[in-house]
Amino acid sequence: MINLAKPKSIQKFMKAQLLLGFLFLIGLNGCERTVPYFDIKGNTMGTTYTIRIVNVGGSAIQGDLLQAGIDSILYAIDDQMSTYKMNSEISLFNQMPENAVINISAGFEEVIRRSIYWGEVTSGAFDISVLPSVLLWRQGELDREYEDVWEPPTDLDVVLRLMKVGYEKINLNQRNLVKAFKGQMIDVNAIAKGWGVDQLYDFLIENGLNRFMVEIGGEVRTIGKNNKGKLWRIGIDTPTAGSMPGEDIYAITSLKDQAMATSGNYRNFYEFEGALYSHIVDPRTGAALQSNIASVTVIGPNCMDADALATALNVMTVDEGKTLVESLEGFEAYWIINEGEEELSSVASSGMPIN
């Protein structure tokens, strides 16, 4: 959940269950408020959401009606794309036998097609079909000496699982998703929260609102000015293992009718014999990341694309990622690098607005 505080006096933040969020809204609570605002909050996708609406006209906002519409949208996305629901469209696909076909919802189709697009743009660094490899690393070596001690899988197992990965192997014919081969699986968690943010954004626009912030699990999209007539200011967490979101802000940026997403590998990792293995798997090699990139924040025109690109930039080297970002219109990125001995550095694309 994004929390609100004075720009130069970051208060204690309410704990929130975030997977890869790390973002906190700064600069909205103060002694003076020029315009009232209205908050809508709830739970979704295993995390939380917050919507802050600036009440420009001073008229009553139908919060109950808005929340009903918001929750309806989020429930539909969950029914389509949650890998934690056994009867969701994505789970049904993952359980299907080879050559079986499932007719999917229009929203799910759009997410898959956009995922394939980002697979092409990033040369495979973003790939929603990497789930077989992710599950392998989550499980670890099967034939290990101590069952309760995680060990990395063998190189052979990594190669065998990698044969089941490849965004170019996804067979989508209009809204018919075909199981191309046994063991093919997809997971859109790295883009679904961003898609959800965009869907709520569109819903609020359709309801006549034009000054608000939408956040799901740390992924954010804004329009207009905040309640003080200024740009929405967003903080980026210092990537410290074991820290709670909002405990320590590393940098602050401002959004002008833009979206923002952060992906990092410092909160969830495996450890074996002193080596750390990220929960993020490189779809190109099938190996868990052992990178010094602690987190990447992306600003873009919409949250779905920012979400996907932030994930890909964690997989790519900084030089590869920066070259890609500089070639994309409307996108900026900010890398936080772990230099060792609790020392951090940062790299920003040429137009990244860091305050």
Q: What residues contact residue 113 under an 8 Å CB cut-off, 6+ apart? A: 172
User: What DSSP character marks residue 61?
Assistant: P
% of the chain beyond a pLDDT of 90: 72
Provide the whole-model pTM: 0.88
Q: What is the pLDDT of residue 273?
A: 86
pLDDT recorded at residue 245: 66
Q: What is the pLDDT of residue 2?
A: 39
Please compute the mean of the pLDDT values over residues 320-334 and round it to a whole number: 98
Q: What is the Cα–Cα distance from 175 to 331, expressed in whole angstroms? A: 29
Give residue 268's Cα distance to chain centre.
14
Tell me the mean pLDDT in the region 255-276.
87
What CATH number does domain 80-189 carry, 3.40.50.300, 3.40.50.970, 1.10.3980.10, 3.65.10.10?
Answer: 1.10.3980.10
pLDDT tens figures, 150-204: 999 999 999 999 999 999 999 999 999 999 999 999 999 999 999 999 999 999 9
Q: Report whether 209 contacts 222 (CB < 8 A).
A: no
Judge whether residue 29 has pLDDT over 90.
no
pLDDT of residue 3: 36
pLDDT of residue 57: 65
Q: Which pLDDT does position 33 carry in this prediction?
A: 55
Give the whole-angstrom CA distance, residue 160 versus residue 164.
8
Please say whether the beta carbons of 193 and 307 come within 8 A. yes
Report in angstroms the alpha-carbon separations of 253 from 38, 168, 214, 339, 355. Answer: 23, 36, 16, 23, 5
**Angle, helices 131-139/155-162, rounded to nearest 10 degrees:** 160
| Structural element, H or E, at residue 77 | helix 63-81
**Cα separation, 205 vs 200, whole angstroms:** 9
User: How far is 134 from 296, CA to CA, in rounded Å?
Assistant: 20
C-beta of residue 54 within 8 angstroms of C-beta of residue 213: no
* Cα distance between residue 161 and residue 148, in whole Å: 23
Residue 15 has pLDDT above 70, yes or no: no
pLDDT, average across residues 49-73: 84
Q: What does the chain come to in residues?
A: 355
Determine the pLDDT at residue 153: 95
147's CB contacts (< 8 A; 6+ apart) are: none
Long-range pairs, 319-326, Cβ under 8 A, ≥24: 321/296, 322/347, 322/349, 324/121, 324/122, 325/298, 325/349, 326/350
Contact 281, 223 (CB under 8 A): no
Residue 92 has pLDDT above 90, yes or no: yes
Q: How confident is the model at residue 284 (pLDDT cuts 50, 70, 90)?
A: very high
Beta bridge partners of 264: 295
